[in-house]
Amino acid sequence: MVKWTLLSSEKDLADWDANLIRFEDSSYLQTLSWGDYRGCFGWRPCRWAAFTDTGEIMAMMQGLLRKYPGGFGILWVPGGPVGDISVWNRELQQTIAKTTGIKRLYCRITPTRSYRAADALALKSQGWSRTCQPMLSGMSMLYQCEEDEQSRLKSCSGNWRHNLRRSQKLNLSITRWLPPNIDAMIAIYDELQEYKVISEQYSRSELDKIFEIFGDKIVLYCCTDEVGDLIAFRGCALIGKKAWDLFAATTVKGRNLYASYLLFWKLIEHCSNAGVALYDMGGIDPHTNEGVYHFKKGTGAREVEYLGEWEWATSATMRFAANCAIRYKAGRV
């Protein structure tokens, strides 16, 4: 028998991250650090684990809870649940409702688990539904860090190797950014957002908090040109033998100097030396962000489709209202 339990005490959560990284589908989005980080911005992290009679953990889930007037609530589960999908079941849903104490609840899960038809069918049979308003593409690129440099170079496309060689001839300097200059990061993000006409990537307070909470779990490199001007940076979260893209921004000048290529190569070298096996390059969208897609694909990373976004709610009305709110926020109405 398996029982889902809400873990809230410091003692209960002491081994959360250590248990989490044992699962193949673990994600930095399910770590204590990410929950604490989002907790600084209006979300309450809630953590559950599914225990067997012998105390073995079969699955885990960290959800971010936000309550609204009138007894409504939303539970967002980025990167989770993880573990045995057979126990992401109705008992989990009942435990969520009972332990949060919210009568009108909407829950959305986004596991970082490769898509399998059998898993999708299992979720449907357990009371989950495919979301009609997904917030993410559900696609990513996974880069193998374990191979030697020459093997990794051979896996790159010819154009990617060519641009890397260009960057190596331009007197660019790549260094680990310790401590990071938040003002400088914001300035480059501002230029990137204006150039690409995209929304804000991180606010100043978000950058302050993520570095404060994650600490040395973040690896950040910056690139300066031959006169010492900062032109790009790239960073990741490194948890166990996995790493995930967190930050990436380049100035217009940096784009002309192919800085992104050399930065990525140096960051991967760091991860490889640190024993990282797999680097998740983050979401991709070949249709709306073609340039980023081709950059990531050119590294030789393999494309992966995740299981996608699934939802459950205490009522059909609650599900409809939540999806209308998401559609409105995304500017689709």
Domain ranges, ordered by start, for the chain: 2-138+306-329, 140-305
242-250/278-283 β-pairing: parallel
Per-residue pLDDT, averaged over 186-204, amounts to: 91
Listed as own residue / partner, the contacts of 320-326 with beta carbons closer than 8 Å and 24 or more positions apart are: 321/106, 322/74, 322/106, 322/108, 323/131, 323/132, 323/133, 326/133, 326/135
CA-CA distance, 176 to 216, in Å (whole number)?
12
Distances (CA, A) of 213 to 34, 35, 116, 216: 8, 10, 34, 9
- Complete DSSP assignment for 181-220: -HHHHHHHHHHHHHHHT---S--HHHHHHHHHHHGGGEEE
Prior bond of 179 cis (ω within 30°): yes
Per-residue pLDDT, averaged over 176-187, amounts to: 96
Q: What is the 3-state secondary structure (H, E, C) of 99-133?
A: HHCCCEEEEEEECCCECCHHHHHHHHHCCCEECCC
Burial code of 136-160, b = ≥16 C-beta within 10 A, e = fewer? Answer: ebbbbbebbbeeeeeebeebbeeeb
Residue 35 per-residue DSSP state: H
278-283/2-7 β-pairing: unpaired
Q: Which helix (H) or strand (E) holds 261?
A: helix 259-273
Report pLDDT digits (tens) over 43-69. Answer: 999 999 999 999 999 999 999 999 998
Distances (CA, A) of 283 to 48, 156, 233: 26, 19, 18
The reported pLDDT for the residue numbered 331 is 47
Q: Give counts: helices (H), strands (E), the chain.
A: 12, 15
CA-CA distance, 295 to 301, in Å (whole number)?
10
Least confident of 185-194, 288-297, 308-317: 288-297
pLDDT band at 246 (very low <50, low <70, confident <90, very high): very high
**Over pLDDT 90: what percentage of the chain?**
83
pLDDT band at 6 (very low <50, low <70, confident <90, very high): very high
Burial (CB < 10 A; 0-12, 13-18, 19+), residue 135, is middle
Q: Which of 3.40.630.30, 3.80.30.20, 3.30.830.10, 3.40.50.1010 would CATH assign to domain 140-305?
A: 3.40.630.30
How many Cβ atoms sit within 10 Å of the Cβ of residue 198?
A: 11
How many Cβ atoms sit within 10 Å of the Cβ of residue 200?
A: 10
Prior bond of 111 cis (ω within 30°): no
CA-CA distance, 217 to 238, in Å (whole number)?
5
User: Given this chain, do its domains 2-138+306-329 and 140-305 carry the same CATH topology?
Assistant: yes
251 against 285, higher pLDDT:
251
CA-CA distance, 172 to 230, in Å (whole number)?
10
Q: Is the pLDDT of residue 329 over 90?
A: no
The rounded mean pLDDT for the chain is 93
Q: 2-138+306-329: which CATH topology?
A: Aminopeptidase (3.40.630)
The reported pLDDT for the residue numbered 126 is 96
CA-CA distance, 143 to 245, in Å (whole number)?
11
* Structure tokens that stand for 122 in this block: 């299992």
300 against 70, higher pLDDT:
300
CA-CA distance, 207 to 219, in Å (whole number)?
14
Report pLDDT digits (tens) over 278-306. Answer: 999 988 888 777 888 999 999 999 999 99
